[in-house]
Structure 1
C-alpha cells in the first residue's frame, strides 16, 4: 500500500491531532467534530498566527523597555537582572557604526557578510531617523538602531511563521506553534539571528515545492548571514540516496548546492577582495575562541576543571564526526525515508551541541525546525521550558561576573542550567529519532506507511512538493 500524499487529506485540526490540545479543548466544548465543515473565513490559520506573532513580539519589545529607557548605557547589573540585554545597541557603538565607519573596510566585525550588510543598512536608516527626530549622541543613536533592527526582526519572524505554516499544506496551524513560542518572545531582538532563520525557512519551502535552484540560492544567502543554513545540504543528499529516483534527486541536490555556492560567493567575494582582513575576522574569531558561554564545553570546564585543553578544536571536530555518522546511519537505515526537517533538526541540534558557543538566541535556529519535525505541544513545551530557565539563569550569571560582590548564580548552577538546556534539545531529538525509526508515530505522516517498497515507474517522477517536509 502506498502512502497517501499529505496534501491529499484535508487540513489538520489541532484539537483532533495533538492529544494535549485535544484535552485542553474540553474547556471550550471539546475537539472539533469529524463531520464539521470548515468554511473559509478571513481569520485563516496563517492570519491568526501572524496576529499572535505581532502580540508576542510587542510583549518582547515591552520587556526590553527597562534597558531601552537608558539606551543600554552600560553593561550593569540592572540590565542583566531585567533580562533585557541585546547585542544590537552595544555593537552599534562598539563596532564604529555610531562614528560613521563602514563595516569590514573601516572596522572589524565578527559576523558573516550578509549580517554585516544588514547592520550597515540599519545604521544608515537609524542615523537618518536620528537626524530628523533626534536627540543627538551615540546612546540615542543606538536606540534608533535597536528600533530599526526590531522592525526587521519582526518582519523576519512573520515570514518564518508563514513559511512554517505553508511547508506542509495540510498543517497550516503549525505556524502558530512558532508564533506563540516563548523562545520568540525572549530572543527575537537579542541579535540578528531571525534573518538567517527566515532564509532557512524559505529554503525548506522552496525545496518542498520542487524548486532546487531557489532553495539553493536561499541556503547560500542564509549561510552568508549565519553559517548554519548550509547544514540543509547534507540532509538533502541523504534523502536523495534513499529516493527511488536517485539520479533525478541527486541532480536536484547538485543544482541546489551549485546555486548555494554561487549565492554565497556573490555576497562574500566583493568583501573578501576589497577588505580581506575585515572579511577574515569572522573566521579567525571563531577559529581562535575557546569554550564560550552556553556551550557543552563551558559546562564541562566548570564541572571538571582542567579536563579540557585550552584548544578544544580536536574535541569539537571529533564529536561532530561522531554525530554526523550517527545522523547518516539513521537517515540510511530508517524503515522509510525520513522527512527533510527531521534530518535538518538533528543536524542543527548536533552543531549546537558541539559548537564552541551556544548563545541564548540560537534557540531560534531550532524553533521552526522543531515545530516541523515534531509538532507536538507537549514536546515543544518541555524543550522551551528548559530554554526559558537557561535564559533567566544566563543573565543572572553574567550579572554575577560583572559584580562578584553580589553573587546571584554560582558557576555550578550555571553549568547545570546548560545541562538542562542540552537535555531539552535531546528530548526533542529523541522524539524525532523515534518518529524516524517508527514512521507510524510521526504526527506529520499519514497513518499508512510504505516500508522499502519500490514505487511504480510512473510514480517515481512525482513532484517533491507532494512529499512531506
Structure 2
C-alpha cells in the first residue's frame, strides 16, 4: 500500500509537467520554475570497465552527490548489460529518467518510515505522499535523498540505535548538510536525558561513514571534491527569507530597517541565539519531548532566520510537520502559502499584479505571500514549543527508547 501511494504521488508529479513537453504551449519559457530540473539521468552506456570511474566521483556524469552516483553507476551498468543481453539499442528515450525512478523509490522509503513512526495513524503517510510542494519540486532535485537519510536517522534514534542513526547521518551529509541537524537534535536530547554517550556514538558513526564514502574522492581528486562540497554548501536558491521581507514590508511601519552590509552577521547571530533557545526549551520541557519535535524546531530556525530560501526547504519540513502536528488544516494552509510565494517568484512578471485581488493593494503579491510564509513558520515554531511544554505530542511520536 505504501509503495502504491508513493508511485501514485510520482505519477501526479509527472502529470504536472506534461505541459512542459508540449512545444506549442511554450510553457518552459513562460514558467521556467515549473519545468526546471536539476536531475540528470546519468550515462546509460556505463560498462564494467568504466563504472568504477564514476562510482566514487559523482556517478557516470560526475555531477551527482557521491552516494547517489554510486547507485546510478551500478544501475547504469545493469541497464547496459540488460540492453546488450536482449539486443536493445540505448538512447536518450530508452529509459525516460533513471534518476526519477530512483527518487521515486526514495520517496516510498520516506513514506514507509513516516508510516512506521506514526503508529496507528494511516492518514499521516497518505497526506504526506501528496504534499503539494513535494509534487511540485520534490522530484526535481537530490534533496529527497537527504530527507530520506534524515528520517531514517530519526527512526533509528527513536528505536534506541544512535550508531545506526549516525550511519544515516553520514550518508545523508554526502548529499546535503541538512541531516547534520539530526546530530544537533541528538545532542540536545542527550543533554536532557543525561545520555551524552548517544551523541558521541552517533557523531563517531557519522564521521566514519561520511569519510568512507568521500575518502577515495578526497584522496584522488581533492580540489574537485572540495569544489563539489562547497557547491552543495552554497547551493543557489531563488530568494532569501525573513531578511528579504523586513526592509520593504516591515521597516516602513516600524521604522526599524536592516543594513544590508550587516545581514550575514545578523543572520548568523540570530540563528545561534535561536538554537540556544531550542536547547533551553528541550531541557526545560515539562514532559518528555520527542526528537521529531526538537529537529523540527531546529529546521524551522535554520529556514526562518537563514539568508536563503527555496521551495525545497518546505519539502524538508513536510515529514516532520506531519508527525509533529497532525493538523491537516494547518498543513495545507502552510503548503498553499509556500506554493503561492514560489509562484510569485516563478510566474511571468506582472501576471499577479493584474488580478483584481492585488491590483489596488499597496503590497505586491510577493510581499503578501512572503509575510504569510513568515507567519506560518512562526506559527509552527510557537505551537511546537507549546506542545513540548505540555507533552501533548511526544508520546504520539515516540521518545528515546531508553526513556519509554
Shorter-chain TM-score: which interval? Answer: 0.7 to 0.9
Instruction: Tell me by how many angstroms 1:416 deviates.
Output: 3.4
Q: What is the CA–CA distance in structure 1 between the aligned matches of 2:338 and 2:328, rounded to whole Å?
A: 15
Alignment correspondent of 1:67: 20
Q: What is the CA–CA distance in structure 2 between the aligned matches of 1:165 and 1:130, rounded to whole Å?
A: 37
Aligned partner (choices 167, 178, 184) of residue 234 of structure 1: 184
TM-score calculated relative to the size of structure 2: 0.79
TM-score calculated relative to the size of structure 1: 0.69
Alignment correspondent of 1:413: 365
Aligned partner (choices 202, 223, 228) of residue 152 of structure 2: 202
Q: What is the CA–CA distance in structure 1 between the aligned matches of 2:26 and 2:314, rounded to whole Å?
A: 27
Query: Does structure 2 conserve the Cα–Cα contact (< 8 Å) formed by 1:67 and 1:85?
Result: no
Alignment correspondent of 2:126: 176
Q: What is the CA–CA distance in structure 2 between the aligned matches of 1:130 and 1:68, rounded to whole Å?
A: 26
Alignment correspondent of 1:366: 317
Alignment correspondent of 1:57: 10
Alignment correspondent of 1:3: none
Alignment correspondent of 1:114: 67
Alignment correspondent of 1:434: 386
Q: What is the CA–CA distance in structure 2 between the aligned matches of 1:124 and 1:393, rounded to whole Å?
A: 42
Counterparts of 1:126-141 in structure 2, within 5 Å, are 132=88, 135=91, 141=92
Query: Does structure 2 conserve the Cα–Cα contact (< 8 Å) formed by 1:290 and 1:312?
Result: no
Instruction: Tell me by how many angstroms 1:207 deviates.
Output: 1.2
Alignment correspondent of 1:296: 242
* Greater RCO (Cα-Cα under 8 Å, separation 6 or more): 1
Look up the SS of the partner of 1:88 in the other structure: coil
- State which drifts further: 286-295 or 367-376: 286-295
Alignment correspondent of 1:264: 210
Query: Does structure 2 conserve the Cα–Cα contact (< 8 Å) formed by 1:115 and 1:226?
Result: no
Aligned partner (choices 349, 354, 357) of residue 300 of structure 2: 349
Q: What is the CA–CA distance in structure 2 between the aligned matches of 1:464 and 1:275, rounded to whole Å?
A: 40
Unaligned runs of 5+ in 1: 1-46, 94-99, 136-140, 401-406, 447-462
Alignment correspondent of 2:374: 422
Query: Does structure 2 conserve the Cα–Cα contact (< 8 Å) formed by 1:208 and 1:467?
Result: no
Q: What is the CA–CA distance in structure 2 between the aligned matches of 1:338 and 1:51, rounded to whole Å?
A: 33
Query: Does structure 1 conserve the Cα–Cα contact (< 8 Å) formed by 2:42 and 2:60?
Result: no
Query: Does structure 2 conserve the Cα–Cα contact (< 8 Å) formed by 1:199 and 1:218?
Result: yes
Structure 1 residues 367-418: Cα deviation after superposition (integer angstroms, max 9, x where no partner): 111111112212212221212222332321xx43xxxxxx335794334333
Look up the SS of the partner of 2:351 in the other structure: coil
Structure 1 residues 289-338: Cα deviation after superposition (integer angstroms, max 9, x where no partner): 89852533444476579944368432332121111111111111111231
Pairwise CA RMSD: 3.8
Unaligned runs of 5+ in 2: 44-50, 354-362
**Aligned length, in residue pairs:** 375
Counterparts of 1:313-462 in structure 2, within 5 Å, are 313-396=264-347, 399-400=348-349, 407-408=350-351, 412-439=364-391, 441-442=392-393, 444-445=395-396
Q: What is the CA–CA distance in structure 1 between the aligned matches of 2:293 and 2:403, rounded to whole Å?
A: 13
Instruction: Tell me by how many angstroms 1:123 deviates.
Output: 7.0
> Does 1:147 find its partner at 2:100?
no
Shift of the 153–313 alpha-carbon distance from structure 1 to 2, 3 Å rule, reads same
Shift of the 378–467 alpha-carbon distance from structure 1 to 2, 3 Å rule, reads farther
Q: What is the CA–CA distance in structure 2 between the aligned matches of 1:180 and 1:288, rounded to whole Å?
A: 29
> Does 1:252 find its partner at 2:252?
no
Q: What is the CA–CA distance in structure 2 between the aligned matches of 1:134 and 1:74, rounded to whole Å?
A: 28
Look up the SS of the partner of 1:336 in the other structure: coil
Query: Does structure 2 conserve the Cα–Cα contact (< 8 Å) formed by 1:159 and 1:198?
Result: yes
Q: What is the CA–CA distance in structure 1 between the aligned matches of 2:149 and 2:325, rounded to whole Å?
A: 21
Instruction: Tell me by how many angstroms 1:288 deviates.
Output: 7.0
Q: What is the CA–CA distance in structure 2 between the aligned matches of 1:346 and 1:376, rounded to whole Å?
A: 17
Shift of the 436–423 alpha-carbon distance from structure 1 to 2, 3 Å rule, reads same
Instruction: Tell me by how many angstroms 1:152 deviates.
Output: 1.2
Shift of the 335–279 alpha-carbon distance from structure 1 to 2, 3 Å rule, reads same
Shift of the 464–173 alpha-carbon distance from structure 1 to 2, 3 Å rule, reads same
Alignment correspondent of 1:77: 30
Query: Does structure 2 conserve the Cα–Cα contact (< 8 Å) formed by 1:53 and 1:157?
Result: yes
